[in-house]
Structure 1
Amino acid sequence: MAPEPLTRAQIQDGLAELPDWSLRGDRIERTYTCGGHLAAAAMVGQIARVQEALGHHADLTLGYNKLTASVNTHSAGGKVTELDLELAHRIEQIAAEHGVGGTG
């Protein structure tokens, strides 16, 4: 059974615990500023391993020293679900391990 889409209020409540994440259309996303390209790429690799373990994947955009994670649930019609909030929390943990902050 596909996960249920969250209401806008539920998403906003979830984002209260993820202050640097934002709702953009039907996705939640955040951009991280890394120490350089290799640092950003290393973070992508670690996120990819977590995504595989969860069976849920974000769209990751890698720039020189920036990494943007954008996520929704395809099986829920491209809407935000609890799976997305869980993945965002996991990505936050990875970012903290890498000493990475937001775009400011």
Structure 2
Amino acid sequence: MPIQQATELQIQEFITQHNAWILKENKLHREYQFKNFVEAFGFMTQIALIAEKSNHHPEWFNVYNKVVIDLTTHEARGITERDFSLAQQMDIVFNLNP
């Protein structure tokens, strides 16, 4: 069974509930800022393990203390529940490391 894209309403509801995330170029987008490079890289390492376990990988890049994330499900050609789930897990990890 193919993965279903989220509806516009589902995406808007997610963004309303998780206001640090925005819709950018049909992807969920967020920028995280850390105290330094080590904390940013540590966050990426934790998320890499989560992403690998769930077999859903972010588009991301890091510059010093900033990590920029874009989430989409290539197989579905859009945002899906997988993206919502990974975004929520990222926020949990970020909030656990003040």
Equivalent residue letter for 2:87: A
How much is the aligned-residue C-alpha RMSD, in angstroms?
0.9
Confirm whether residue 57 of structure 1 aligns to residue 57 of structure 2. yes
Confirm whether residue 95 of structure 1 aligns to residue 82 of structure 2. no
State the distance in 2 between where 1:81 and 1:21 align: 15
Structure 1 position 60, deviation (Å)? 1.6
Equivalent residue letter for 1:55: N
State the distance in 1 between where 2:10 and 2:53 align: 25
Q: Give 1:86's aligned residue.
A: 85
Number of corresponding residues:
98
Q: Post-superposition, which runs of at least 4 consecutive aligned residues in structure 1 deviate over 2 A?
A: none
Structure 1 position 32, deviation (Å)? 0.7
Note the residue ranges of structure 2 that are not aligned, 5 or more in a row: none
State the distance in 1 between where 2:20 and 2:44 align: 18
Q: Secondary structure of the residue that 2:17 maps to in structure 1?
A: coil
State the distance in 2 between where 1:2 and 1:29 align: 24
Q: TM-score, normalised by structure 2?
A: 0.95
Q: Give 2:71's aligned residue.
A: 71
Q: Give 1:46's aligned residue.
A: 46
Structure 1 or 2: more helix by fraction: 2
Note the residue ranges of structure 1 that are not aligned, 5 or more in a row: 100-104
Taking only the aligned residue pairs, the percentage that are identical comes to 28
State the distance in 2 between where 1:33 and 1:93 align: 14
